[in-house]
Amino acid sequence: MFKQKQNRNFSEILQRLFYPKGGWRRAIIYIWYRIRRIPDPPGKIGRGVFAGVWACFTPFFGFHVLVAAILAFLLRGNILAALLATLFGNPLTFPLIAAMSISLGHQIVGDVPVNGVDSKSMLIHFQIFFKDLALNLFALFTERQADWTSFAQIYRSVFLPYLIGGAIPGLIFGVAAGWLTKSVVVAYRKRRKAKAAKRKAAAAGSRPRSLLKSLLRESRMNKPTEGSD
C-alpha cells in the first residue's frame, strides 16, 4: 500500500522536463480539463489564460508564474487559469519564443546583438544578467564595489530586445488562446446543460404508468355519481 518513494536522478528529471509522464498529449488534455471546469465566467477564465500565455513571452525566467498572477489580477482574470496557462512556456517552446522575441526586438530597437547572441547562448546571458543583478544589489549593503558593465551590456543586447520583441507575439498568442479558451468553456457548459436537461426530461418521462393509473382511478372514485344530492 505504502510504496517507498524512489529518488530520481538528474537524467530522469531532465527527461520528465522535456517529456512528461504520460506524454504531452495527456498533459495538454489534463490542462484543458482543469481549465474548462474552473467555476468562473468564461470571460474571466479567458483573461486568465491570456495573462499566462503572455507571461511566457517575457524575459523574466523563473518568475513567469508571478507575472501571470499579477497580470491576471489586474485584468480581473482567473488566477488559476493564468497559472495553468504558463505551461505554454516549456522546454520545447522556449527556444522558439526566445529566438522570435530577440530577433523581433532587435528589429524594433535597431540594435545589433553583442557577441552574437542567439538562442543557444541566451540562457548563459540570462544567468549572467540575473547573477550580476543580485550581486550588485547585494553590494549596495556591503563594502563590495558594484560593477554594472556586463549587466548593462546584456540588458541592451538581450533583455531589452526580448522584453520589447516578446510583447507583440505574446499579445497575439495570448489573445488567440484567451478567445479559444472562452469559446471552449462556453461550448462545454452548453453541452453539459443540454445533457442535464435531457437526463431530467428522461427521468420525468420514465415514471411508472401505475402512478398515472392510480391517479385516474382516484379521480373517478371522487367524481360524484348521477342522482346524488
Q: What is the pLDDT of residues 153-169, one digit of tens each?
A: 777 778 888 899 999 99
* Residues in Cβ contact with 110 at an 8 Å cutoff, skipping those fewer than 6 apart: none
pLDDT per residue as tens digits for the range 13-27: 444 544 556 555 666
Q: Cell 540570462 maps to which residue? A: 126
Tell me the per-residue pLDDT of 202-227, one tens digit each, with 9 for 90 and over: 766 655 555 555 656 666 666 555 44
Q: Are 52 and 82 in contact (CB under 8 A)?
A: yes
Query: Which residue would you say has higher pLDDT here, 6 or 77?
Result: 77
Task: Report the share of the chain in percent with pLDDT over 70.
Answer: 67
- Mean pLDDT value across residues 33-40: 83
- pTM here is 0.70
**Per-domain residue ranges for the chain?**
21-184
CA-based R_g, the chain, Å: 30
Is residue 82 very low, low, confident or very high in pLDDT (cuts 50, 70, 90)?
very high
Residues 50 and 77 sit within 8 Å (Cβ to Cβ):
yes
> Assign residue 12 a region: left if phi > 0, alpha if psi is -120 to 50, beta otherwise?
alpha
